[in-house]
Amino acid sequence: MEYGEEISHKSWKDKLGSILHNKPFHAFVVILIVLDAIIVLMLLLVDLDVIPVPGETEEAKAKNHKNVENGLHYFGFSLICLFVIEIVLRIIVDGVEFFKDKLNVFDAVIVLLSFVLDLALTFAPVSRAVRDVVILMILLRLWRFFKLICAVNICVRKDVKEELEKERKARRKAEEERDHYKEVLQKIQNDS
């Protein structure tokens, strides 16, 4: 075996799990969720004409409005595709454990429903009622953002607990060493 060469006994699932469950990947997903929330809000604001889309004529304005909506929709859809891939990979890695966490299941349902509805919107003409249902799904996607805040809070608390436990162990070890050296010192003083 050459210098620097390591033998890895991890399976591909373990390797994938170590990627999916590390902090940089979580940070990447957080960035994507925040970006998705921004896109969803922009899409909603453009759809409600809160954000005006400029145009020289009414026809040009309508065309620009449709182009902006389509651009935001396709960008949001590409983000949802990434979330679907992430969920599928997490299910593969975590197996049954994934379904034991209710927030994971809730998240998966929202992502998969959003994916199906966005797919339907992309390829089929829809009525206003269907668009209203889609807006509801958009609001549920925003709920994911709040779920993210909860997840970050839980992650930070877990890290703090782990650090606190490390500090407690180090303190106990230091106290044991101190007590040991006190005994040794006492023994030396008694022998003198």
pLDDT by residue (tens digit) across 50-108?
888 888 888 888 888 888 888 888 898 899 899 999 999 999 999 998 899 887 888 88
Q: Are 36 and 76 in contact (CB under 8 A)?
A: yes
> For residues 86 and 177, what is the distance between their CA atoms, to the nearest angstrom?
47
Q: Is the pLDDT of residue 44 over 70?
A: yes
- Quick one: pLDDT at residue 84? 93
Report the pLDDT averaged over residues 32-39: 84
User: Is residue 34 in some structural domain?
Assistant: yes
Task: Please tell me the total count of domains within the chain.
Answer: 1
User: Is residue 2 in some structural domain?
Assistant: no
Alpha-carbon 86 to chain mean position? 9
User: Is residue 161 in some structural domain?
Assistant: no
**Which domain, by its residues, includes 44?**
12-154
Identify the CATH number of the domain in which residue 85 sits.
Answer: 1.20.120.350
Report the pLDDT averaged over residues 119-140: 67
User: Is residue 3 in some structural domain?
Assistant: no
User: Is residue 25 in some structural domain?
Assistant: yes
- Kindly report, residue by residue over 144-167, the tens digit of the pLDDT: 666 666 666 666 666 777 788 888
Measured in degrees and rounded to the nearest 5, phi and psi for residue 125 equal -70, 140
Banded pLDDT at 192 (limits 50, 70, 90): confident
User: Is residue 72 in some structural domain?
Assistant: yes
Q: Which position has the higher pLDDT, 22 or 91?
A: 91
User: Is residue 18 in some structural domain?
Assistant: yes
User: Is residue 181 in some structural domain?
Assistant: no
